[in-house]
Amino acid sequence: MEKMTRKDDLAFYRGRRVFITGHTGFKGIWLAKLLLDAGAHLTGFSLPSPTAEGASLFARLRLKEEMHSIEGDVRDLAALEAAFLEARPEIVLHLAAQPLVRESYRAPVETYAVNVMGTANILECVRKSDAVRSFLNVTTDKVYENKEWEWGYREDERLMGFDPYSNSKSCAELVTASYRQSFFPDGGVRLSTARAGNVIGGGDFSPERIVPDCIRAASEGRAVVLRNPTSTRPYQHVLEPLSAYLRIARAQWHEAAFSGSYNVGPEDSDCVTTGELAALFCRAWGEGASWRAEVEGGAPHEAGFLKLDSSRIKARLGWRPRWCIEEAVVHTVAWAKAWQAGEDVEKIMAAQVAAYFEEEGA
């Protein structure tokens, strides 16, 4: 296969029929915008955005008018099958999920239903389709049994997420592998999973996530309060994993040998503690922004140290991260301030996409 570049990845999707689940979420909105601007024929299947701000962003970008947007629940197999029959997608990108660790403690059964059975349902649609060639299931860096060691996990490490969210994503990995082995052993349909690190960027309005919490606090003139300032995570800008997803789906479209599981994380130097991330945020935000630690009694378990080894995607597909953590934070803050000022965030997104995809490199 010829050398792959990010610009070529986008060009590949022109005229392709692409189906996204979770297109109204944070990453889904960015991915939908990328694919529409690339010229894809796009169908999205998702519940409404979980936040009012997310719904406003989805509307402001006019995504509903530019794509076939279907409001639906991945737990509803009949609805998914109907959407598939209508769209006849060639490429499927599965992002729909209950994505929050703390919410998974409050609603574990719903978390498993969405993340495990939702994955089984979308794979069943792929199995019955006569059009799908490339399928990607987006999971998480938290699928591994976390032993709190200082080196990055590789794709062949044991899958055993601790909390219901992480564990449900481990299960989703196993469901995908089972479908690959059971129904597509000849590689006619290519299935992969992508295990991305912690994603930041403009448009994330989720509760109980570090950067949205930072933005809310700084906007209100409050100090950012951190539960676990010493926890280390593989933070990266949202365009990093999205570009990897596009690369994986494209590569396995051309060659079945590229299907499999891929870690998608930053360089080791960009795996920082929550306290270091908050300090970078405060510096980028200015206006006297600050943070402080606060031990929260009775808080549910969260891993203290987590890092990914992304050697496989670098070696096999030539993908590597582009923006360091400082750049990722600066771009996130620029977006957030534009949003709060009522500026045209579509222009901000377009400028950030152009900067990311137009630079030299793979």
Q: Is residue 251 part of a domain?
A: yes
pLDDT of residue 86: 97
Amino acid, res. 305: F
**pLDDT at site 303:** 67
Distance CA 337, CA 157 (A): 40
pLDDT string in tens for the chain (362-residue length): 567 899 999 999 999 999 999 999 999 999 999 999 999 999 999 999 999 999 999 999 999 999 999 999 999 999 999 999 999 999 999 999 999 999 999 999 999 999 999 999 999 999 999 999 999 999 999 999 999 888 999 999 999 999 999 999 999 999 999 999 999 999 999 999 999 989 999 999 998 899 999 999 999 999 999 988 999 999 999 999 999 999 999 999 999 999 999 999 999 999 999 999 999 999 999 999 999 998 765 567 666 789 999 999 999 999 999 999 999 999 999 999 999 999 999 999 999 999 999 865 54
- Structural domain tally of the chain? 1
136 found inside a domain: yes
| Predicted structure pTM score | 0.96
Domain of residue 36, CATH code:
3.40.50.720
The pair of three-digit structure tokens given for residue 282, joined into one six-digit string:
């405060």
CA quadruple 181, 184, 185, 189: dihedral sign: negative
Range of the domain at 32: 6-358
Q: Output the pLDDT for position 1.
A: 53
In three-state secondary structure terms, 63 is helix
The first and second tokens of residue 117, run together, are 């059975």
Q: Is 188 a domain residue?
A: yes
Beta bridge partners of 113: none
pLDDT number for residue 217 = 97
pLDDT of 299 reads 64
Q: Which two tokens stand for residue 171?
A: 């299960």
Q: Is residue 344 part of a domain?
A: yes
Residue 311 lies in a domain: yes
Q: Which residues contact 170 (CB under 8 A, 6 or more apart)?
A: 139, 143, 144, 159, 160, 161
Q: Is residue 1 part of a domain?
A: no
Please tell me the predicted confidence (pLDDT) of residue 247.
98
Q: At what angle do helices 118-128 and 77-87 cross, to 10 degrees?
A: 40
Cβ 238 vs Cβ 206: under 8 Å: no
pLDDT value at position 360? 54
> Do residues 66 and 39 touch, judged by C-beta distance below 8 A?
no
282 lies in a domain? yes
